[in-house]
Amino acid sequence: MKNLRIESAILAVGLALLGVFVYNGINSLAKRDRFVSVRGLAEKEVKADRVIWPLTYKTVGNDLGAVYRDISTANRKIAAFLTRNGIKASDITTGAPQVSDLWTNEYNDNRNRERYNATSVTTVSSSDVDRVRALMTRTGELLSEGIAIAPNDYSSQIQFDFTSLNKIKPQMIEQATKNAREAAEKFAKDSGSKLGKIKSAQQGLFSIDSRDSNTPYIKEVRVVTTVDYYLDN
């Protein structure tokens, strides 16, 4: 009988301790489940560091040989105009001319117009963005040499790029993370909690867009970082 009482007492103490452990575990788990998810934004304006500038020349005629010679002469004059104004020869490429025979469509009466329509594109791809931008305003000088540069259409748009993202990535991620922490600290303060350790963090994709349609050579770089923080009492 005495042994039974001892065993019962031991069992009671064990159950009490187990209850304490279970309570502490649940309480600890509840604390660990309390967290806040915040986002931090970092933005930076940068200048484009590369430009792609297509210069399109078009001509028409009935003599295919004469049309080809006209295209070849125009390409040489365009390249000369670019190089004498500081564009490296290695930054200039000239594509093969595209020639259309306007008389081949039997359903349209095109015989009253020139037969051949030829287009040639000379492309500048340069890191000297300021020089190229300045030169874009001077293409009228080619008119004195009989060269009229055609307006850019959907297939030959001027393109400004920013290629040095890796140089500014670390500082932008740091700024985005800092902004996220500031938002989390404010939330914790307003909720009467203390900000704990980071539970998880996720870096969003970087985006690079033109600031506006009038200044495509100014880019806006943007990144959003999402961070989850534990909240302590």
pLDDT, tens only, 88-127:
999 999 999 999 988 886 566 656 678 899 999 999 999 9
- The secondary structure element, H or E, covering residue 41 is strand 35-47
> Mean pLDDT lowest for which of 12-26, 77-91, 124-138?
12-26
Residue with tokens 């575990």: 25
Q: For residues 23 and 224, give the distance between their C-alpha atoms in angstroms, rounded to a whole number.
A: 39
pLDDT at 40: 95
Ramachandran class of 148: left when φ > 0, alpha when ψ lies in -120 to 50, beta otherwise: beta
Q: For residues 194 and 232, give the distance between their C-alpha atoms in angstroms, rounded to a whole number.
A: 5
What is the per-residue pLDDT across 153-177, written as a single tens digit (0 to 9) for each? 777 899 999 999 999 999 999 999 9
Q: For residues 156 and 161, give the distance between their C-alpha atoms in angstroms, rounded to a whole number.
A: 15
Mean pLDDT of the chain: 86
- DSSP-derived 3-state class of residue 10: helix
Domain regions of the chain by residue span: 1-33, 34-49+162-233, 50-160
What sections of 33-63 are H helices per DSSP? Answer: none
CB atoms within 10 A of CB 191: 11
Q: Shortest CA distance to 181 belongs to which of 132, 226, 233, 119?
A: 226
pLDDT at 89: 97
Q: For residues 48 and 105, give the distance between their C-alpha atoms in angstroms, rounded to a whole number.
A: 44
- DSSP-derived 3-state class of residue 55: strand
Return the CATH number of the domain spanning residue range 34-49+162-233: 3.30.110.170
Beta-bridge partners for 203: 225
Q: Residue 70 corresponds to which amino acid?
A: D
Task: Answer yes or no: is pLDDT of 29 > 90.
Answer: no
Question: Is the CATH number of domain 50-160 3.40.1350?
Answer: no
CB atoms within 10 A of CB 188: 18
Q: For residues 2 and 30, give the distance between their C-alpha atoms in angstroms, rounded to a whole number.
A: 42
Q: For residues 156 and 131, give the distance between their C-alpha atoms in angstroms, rounded to a whole number.
A: 20
